[in-house]
């Protein structure tokens, strides 16, 4: 992950030791730095005690990549994932 290159610990522990605003920023940074990632329109917001991802990707691999980043940083129980797979975006 991108953040793990700046810290001795990994991004997972970085996200768990901070508040939701920091988790949101960490997720956004990770998504921006994923190589060949099609989810450029994914928005990361805070809703209550959860981080919400909305947007679309053009392939299933990027769908899982975005989900993995979010759950690694915020924790699976704190992620609402509303990202859709739209293959028409690849064209």
Instruction: Break the chain into its structural domains and give their ranges.
Output: 3-90
Give the bridge partners for 48, in sequence order. none
How far apart are the C-alpha atoms of 22 and 39, rounded to whole Å?
Answer: 20
pTM: 0.78
CA distances from 39 to 49, 51, 59 (A): 24, 17, 9
**3-90, which class in CATH?**
alpha beta
Question: pLDDT (tens digit, 9 = 90+) per residue, 27-78?
Answer: 999 999 999 999 999 999 999 999 999 999 999 999 999 999 999 999 999 9
């Amino acid at each position: 992950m991108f953040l793990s290159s700046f810290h001795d610990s990994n991004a997972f522990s970085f996200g768990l030791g901070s508040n939701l605003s920091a988790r949101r920023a960490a997720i956004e940074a990770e998504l921006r730095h994923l190589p060949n990632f099609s989810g450029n329109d994914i928005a990361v917001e805070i809703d209550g005690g959860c981080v919400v991802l909305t947007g679309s990707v053009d392939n299933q691999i990027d769908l899982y990549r975005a989900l993995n980043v979010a759950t690694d940083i915020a924790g699976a129980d704190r992620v609402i994932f509303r990202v859709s797979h739209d293959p028409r975006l690849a064209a």
